[in-house]
A and B are shown apart, each in its own frame.
Chain A
């Protein structure tokens, strides 16, 4: 199978830093996405990693290690509005294969 694993829930304090991990099977791996989904809304695109390393976009950064089958999403200076589910999704092989989604990590930011 093409299992994608991420923690079910996490809690962090406003202003802090939180790291959400995602692991996947490396066979056929072609790229990894992170999406943010607020309750009752559609997922919105955050990042896309194909090569190893860290990509930074404002308060959000995403890291990928292809050889280890591992990624993380790093959120800095947490705000209450960051409370949402974060979905890790992998594209296996190339071209027209659909994304495979993890079940998502529900992040709660508390004061």
Chain B
């Protein structure tokens, strides 16, 4: 069963804490993306990776970091430098026809 998985579904962060959101895909897609969505807002691009061991900043990369050590995995770390992290985080991968497919999302809340 191919697809994109994200975990956890809900994540709570304390002040000054770094948290990591998982994104895994078994679709054999090269490109992967991280978006942030705030209530009633559109998707904003955080980081993207076109190939293993390579990634680029999106529009709102400050306070976030990523790695792409394996084709299947593209974890996102929300660092303590991100002062307003509460949002819905969506991971996506892209097929050869340019279509992006999304994982189910992780909702991050600050305690």
Contacts and interface: CB of A to CB of B under 8 A. Distances in A.
A33 B97 CA distance: 11
Interface stretch (A62-70, A75-83, A99-107): A99-107
Interface in B18-63: 31, 33, 40-43, 45, 48, 50, 58
A87 B105 contact: no
A48 B75 CA distance: 28
B99 interface: yes
Closest 10 CB pairs of A and B: A103-B42, A42-B102, A101-B43, A96-B50, A42-B105, A101-B42, A43-B102, A98-B48, A42-B104, A98-B45
B65 interface: no
A31 interface: yes
A43 B90 contact: yes
B98 interface: yes
Contacts of B100: 33, 45, 89, 99
Interface residues of B, number: 21
A100 B111 CA distance: 32
Interface of A: 30-31, 33, 40-45, 48, 87, 89, 91, 96, 98-99, 101-104, 106
18 contacts: A30-B98, A31-B98, A33-B99, A33-B100, A42-B90, A42-B105, A43-B43, A45-B99, A48-B98, A87-B43, A91-B98, A96-B31, A96-B50, A98-B45, A98-B58, A103-B41, A103-B42, A106-B40
B103 interface: yes
A30 B97 CA distance: 12
A89 B45 CA distance: 12
Nearest to B102: A42
Contacts of B104: 41-42
B69 to A, nearest CB: 19
Nearest to A102: B42
A79 B99 CA distance: 26
Contacts of B88: 40
A52 to B, nearest CB: 18
